[in-house]
Chains A and B, each alone.
Chain A
Amino acid sequence: MTKTKKIREPLIHLVKRDDLPGWKAWGIRALSIVGAFVFICLLSFIVLKRSPFQIVKFMFEGAFGSKLSTLVLFRDLSILLIISLAVTPAFKMKFWNIGAEGQVLISAWGAVLCMYYLGGKIPNGALIFIMLLSSMTFGILWAVIPAIFKAKWGTNETLFTLMMNYIAIQIVLGSTKIWAGVTSTGVLHPLQYGHLPQVAGGDYALSMIVAAVITLLLFFYMRFSKHGYELSVVGESRNTARYIGISVPKVIVRTLVLSGAICAVAGFLLAGGIMHTVGSGTVGGQGFTAVLVSWLAQFNPIAMIVVSFVVIFISKGTTRVMENCGIANSFFSQVLTGTLFFIIIACEFFIRYRVLPRKRHKAVAPREDLDDDSVEVVEDFAEPDIVIEEPLSEADDDKQETRDEDVEHSQEETVC
């Protein structure tokens, strides 16, 4: 009895796939998005007692219901896209920067700092230029401090960048309390000076143009430039990078300067072009959403446009569904958003692994000696398969060999 149990083959086993063509993978992703939509419509139907078609109608109404909602949708998409682009080069390098929230917030604060103290005292053009410089300084500073620590002393960049977020939030809370007056509620009202020029008659188009330009630039930077190649080598294997003469610390710092600078652009646009003030909710968690966008898009800047569109569409859409159904809280819309991303992320699993059911040995292998063997082999094979890949910590790593090398050297490897 126990013997048969021991050699029992698992019901399913997982095999990593390396051979899935790109178009197929993107096809699965597209299908999963559609499937997720269908699922959340059904979920809404069960909970809200509205027909799925009505739910879809409400969603489109929330996103594209009027010229205003469409403009707001694309403006918000642009900001999210810029932040997602900002974190991407670092991720490609396997530098887990989760501090985009703080980097954007502190750059917005840097711009407001100038608006508050210099507003009305110098010409608007000069003010905007100084705001941009200030945003850049703070944005880059917030990204590069963890990078230097990582490059010099090998500190954990995830924790470091996370903590930098809280420092930024406290700086913003403290200073707005002073600027707004101690006896107020600490909310700084919009400032009159340092507004970015309106493009096409509103506060909307500027962010879209900037986002489009940055997307293209970053796409070419990552794909065709020497820098882009270097950072992906550092991401794949630091030893390889060292071997071919790339200075790893230099690449880390350089890439994070870029990340910080792009975050600063987002912060600058938020402060000067959209909010005209700053508060702890100015970035609204988009720095963290950007991590999701960057990952789901597989670090591909062009794909990020689609993913950030899905994110913003869902958020605007579900909000309108709740509004039209007379539900005065955001719990269910959050459940819907969460469900949707759960399904989309779950599909990544099926892109990376093949799920094989247990073989029917009796039918396939009549020869007893071979049969036993194959059971053994499969079991050996199945074990590491379940354990090997940790999709969350290993990026788009397809080269088994390189990674094995990495594992071998990982103990002696310290970044210097």
Chain B
Amino acid sequence: MKKKVLALVLAIVVVAALCIGLVACNDGAIKFNETFMPEWDEEYATLEVPADFKFGLICLHGESSNYDKNFIESARKAFRELGLPESNLIIKTDIKENEECTTAARELVQQGCDIIFADSFGHEPYMSKVAAEAGNENIKFCHATGTTAHNPDAPANLYNAFASIYEGRYLAGIVAGMKLNQMIAAGKFKAEDAKIGYVGAFPYAEVKSGYTSFFLGARSVCPTVTMEVQFTSSWFDKLSEKSTAQALITRGCKLISQHADSDGAPNACEEAGVPNVSYNGSMIQSCSKTFLVSSRIDWAPYFKYVIAQTVNNKEIEKDWVGTIETGSVALTNLNADTVAPGTLQAVLKARAELVKGTRYVFDCSTFTVTGKNFDEAKMKVDAQGHLTSYKADVNTDAAFTPDTEAIEKVGDKYIFMESDAEGRRSAPYFDITIDGITLLN
């Protein structure tokens, strides 16, 4: 009997200890408060959305991909904040970039959607086709990362959107640079060995713009940093992303970041104990020892915007660019266990400067383009190799003809105006390889 009582008491103690342990254990994150709130949030409070208003979301993959999960969660968040029933949000997952997208969009039209949104670059021609078919039905076709909506021959009800995520990447780069500085100060490696590895999906503008801004952010605090980029030729390939990250680590990269949609690279970093900056979602739960921060586009502001414009019968911008101020460009909370001291302050300061316009990510004085990176047909540089002119391929055509000047003089500085909706477009067009970044394939 005594033994039984003892066993019972012990069991209760163990359970209680576990409970306390679980409650006490938070995710070890420094809260990164959004100080810039969109002013039009108040307007949304009075918005009256019809009960049969439906929103269709076409996703390349499902929630298992960070990229698509980000869209899905943003859409749910927008619905919650506008007080709409979630049953009116129709999500079609695993829609490939082929005829499947046409069928999915047509089905959404038949299911009574007022807005249809597709999340992948390759969905565009199919969205455009169905938009033209449904021209008279007052259905809006919105497309993330797309490039053709501003063309004169594009359907009137096709819209493109993106965010100035290069600013978010730049801020994440600062976090990375601070971490490298900390490791150099601790004597883990020499300053000139500070090398970042980057797992990219495809060598096209969205990815190039992303890693360049990340690199510039890191170099703004850690001047000796260099970067190596390897492409996987796939948006979502967990094994390949993981092995690419491992290869980069073996090549001596001290920190890894990526622009690909699985958690392959963060997992490789967690196994190897190498710090990682993610994209489109926090990895703090599964990679708590190495995750630093993740930049992401919060699509909820755009979703709320298009819903409000449609309900109010107002025109949607052909090329919409979300910014830090609209709440579209966001960072996840910082991992308190891994980031260097003072990181939060540095990031907040840089963010304030970006918003004020006293700092630019693609400030041409901060990088050079020389040697084989220099392309006479597209760009002009000064004596040191700083860009003064660049013709970007903004109006998409099959031959990728450079057609629009992307650099403007602001004050005495030459600035590459990335994702500039005024006269250009929302999707990125910075596709220059700058000095300091090496492409491995």
Partners in one complex: yes
Alpha-carbon separation in the docked complex, A182 to B96 (Å): 20
Q: In the bound complex, what is the Cα–Cα distance between A276 and B63 (angstroms)?
A: 29
- Contact call A183/B63, Cβ cutoff below 8 A: no
Interface flag for A185 (CB, 8 Å): yes
CB-CB < 8 A to A326: which residues of B? 86-87, 89, 91
Q: How far is the CB of A21 from chain B (nearest CB, A)?
A: 42
Chain A: which residue is nearest B431 at the CB level?
A: A183
Asked if B99 and A185 make an inter-chain contact with CB atoms under 8 angstroms apart, the answer reads: no
Could you tell me if A182 and B92 are in contact, using CB atoms closer than 8 angstroms? no
Does the CB pair A184–B202 fall under 8 Å? yes
The A contact surface, by secondary structure, is loop
Q: Which residues of B contact A329 (CB under 8 A)?
A: 62-64, 93
Nearest-CB residue, chain A, relative to B99:
A275
Once bound together, how far apart are the Cα atoms of A186 and B92, in whole Å? Answer: 23
* In the complex, chain A residues whose CB is within 8 Å of the CB of B86: 326
A286 to chain B, nearest CB (A): 13
Q: Decide if A84 is an interface residue (CB 8 Å cutoff).
A: no
Asked if A103 is at the interface of the complex by the 8 Å CB criterion, the answer is no
Q: Given the known inter-chain contacts A323-B90, A323-B91, please indicate yes or no for A185 contacting B201, CB distance below 8 A.
A: yes
Which of B97, B203, B205 touches A187 (beta carbons < 8 Å)? B97
Please, how many angstroms separate the alpha-carbon atoms of A274 and B203 in the complex? Answer: 29
A131 and B239 CA atoms in complex are apart in Å by: 36
Partner of B106, one of A68, A184, A284: A68
Is the Cβ of B91 less than 8 Å from the Cβ of A328? yes
**How far apart are the CA atoms of A181 and B204 in the complex, in Å?**
10
Asked if B121 is at the interface (CB within 8 A of a chain A CB), the reply is yes
Residues of B within 8 A of A (CB-CB), count? 37
**Which of A181, A186, A276, A279 is the one whose CB lies under 8 Å from B400?**
A181
Q: Give chain B interface residues in 40-96, CB to chain A under 8 Å.
A: 59, 62-64, 68-69, 72, 86-87, 89-94, 96
Query: In the assembled complex, which residues on chain A have CB atoms less than 8 Å from the CB atom of B94?
Result: 330
- Bound together, the chains give a CA A281 to CA B91 distance in angstroms of 21
Q: How many residues of A contact B (CB 8 A)?
A: 31
Give Cα distance in the complex from A279 to B96, angstroms: 10
Fill in one digit per residue for B234-256: 1 if any A CB lies within 8 Å of its CB, else 0. 01000000000000000000000
B202 touches A186 (CB 8 A): yes
| Contact present for B203 and A182 (CB under 8 Å) | yes
Residue of B nearest to A69 (CB): B107
- CB pair A189 B92 closer than 8 Å: no
Nearest CB of B to A47, in Å: 16
Residues in B neighbouring A384, C-beta threshold 8 A: none
Q: A69-B107, A185-B204 are in contact. Are A173 and B233 (CB under 8 A)?
A: yes
Knowing A275-B99, A281-B96, A330-B94 are in contact, say whether A66-B110 is a contact too (CB < 8 A). yes
A68 lies within 8 A of B110 (CB):
yes
Q: Which of A301-336 contact B (CB under 8 A)?
A: 322-323, 326, 328-331
Additional A-B contacts beyond A183-B400, A326-B91 (6; CB < 8 A): A323-B90, A328-B91, A328-B93, A329-B64, A330-B93, A330-B94
Interface residues of A (CB under 8 A from B): 65-66, 68-69, 72, 173, 177, 181-187, 189-190, 274-277, 279, 281-282, 284, 322-323, 326, 328-331
Across the A-B interface, the 7 shortest Cβ-Cβ residue pairs: A329-B62, A187-B122, A329-B63, A185-B202, A328-B72, A328-B91, A189-B125
Can you identify 30 A-B contacts, CB atoms within 8 angstroms? A65-B110, A66-B110, A68-B103, A68-B106, A72-B103, A173-B233, A182-B203, A183-B204, A183-B400, A185-B202, A186-B202, A186-B233, A187-B122, A190-B126, A274-B99, A276-B99, A279-B97, A281-B96, A282-B98, A284-B96, A323-B90, A326-B87, A326-B91, A328-B62, A328-B68, A328-B72, A328-B93, A329-B63, A331-B62, A331-B64
